[in-house]
Amino acid sequence: MTGAAIIIGAGDATGGAAAAAFARHGLVAVPVRRNGEQLAPLAERIAREGGKCLAIGADARDEDAMIALFDRVEREVGPIEVLVFNIGANSPMGILDETVRRYRKIWEMCALAGFITGREAARRMVPRGRGTIIFTGATASLRGSAGFAGFSGGKFALRSLAQAMARELGPKGIHIVHSIIDGAIDTDFIRTNFPDRYALKDEDGIVDPEAIAAEYVRLHQQPRSAWTHELDLRPWIERW
């Protein structure tokens, strides 16, 4: 039976690259984002490369929708071998102007959705004693910066969730990973909002999503005698 790799937050950069990478390695990619129509180019890419894909539009903050999604994948595709939680929610706002509505939404996208999808993946993986769950973090997972109170709060919470799950589920055969992407990623967001940083692309000064995806596949393939829990990825030019 073919296994599945669910990618929550399968956008045009890291999430999409991860879906395509796992499809190339024999799993059925299940890319998920709120607007399912936007997944069409990714599904076409995976098909061109000879992979299999089940693209689904759903909101990861909706518990009932996620339960139904995970049940569907197990029923129609096969056992869920990998979950990549890749929702970004990077939306800067000064603390004096931040609103409860925005703060709550960012927390729901970063942390609540991570909890729901991580729990649902674990519920299906634990009985089989195998599986990989990867949470994509950021610089904000480690430190709060001016203007990023909401984002850092959500990413701190996601990192804590990953640590708790690793300690609880590692002994049950489930590999839990938290990746810290410390640097700008080659995305439309960076190109539009930080053109000076994006100009460093030709110098390998921003992170290539395909390189992140390759690392995610490698993490899934690690033997359990030498699991990585936290991975730190940054371009050589990044200061830290």
Task: Kindly write down the DSSP assignment for every residue of the chain, as one continuous string.
Answer: ---EEEEET--TTHHHHHHHHHHHTTPEEEEEES-GGGGHHHHHHHHHTT--B--EE--TT-HHHHHHHHHHHHHHT--EEEEEE-------B-TTT--HHHHHHHHIIIIIHHHHHHHHHHHHHGGGT--EEEEEEEGGGT---TTBHHHHHHHHHHHHHHHHHHHHHGGGT-EEEEEEE-S-BSSHHHHHH-HHHHGGGGGT-SB-HHHHHHHHHHHHH--GGG--SEEEE--TT---
Average pLDDT (119-132) is: 98
Q: Encode pLDDT of 177-198 as tens digits.
A: 999 998 888 888 888 888 988 9
Average pLDDT (185-214) is: 90
In the chain, domain spans? 4-233
Tell me, what's the pLDDT at 123?
Answer: 98
Q: Encode pLDDT of 59-106 as tens digits.
A: 999 999 999 999 999 999 999 999 999 998 888 889 999 999 999 999
Tell me, what's the pLDDT at 7?
Answer: 98
Q: Say if domain 4-233 classifies as CATH 3.40.50.720.
A: yes
Average pLDDT (163-177) is: 98
Q: Please report which confidence band the pLDDT of residue 1 belongs to, taking 50, 70 and 90 as the band edges.
A: low
pTM: 0.94
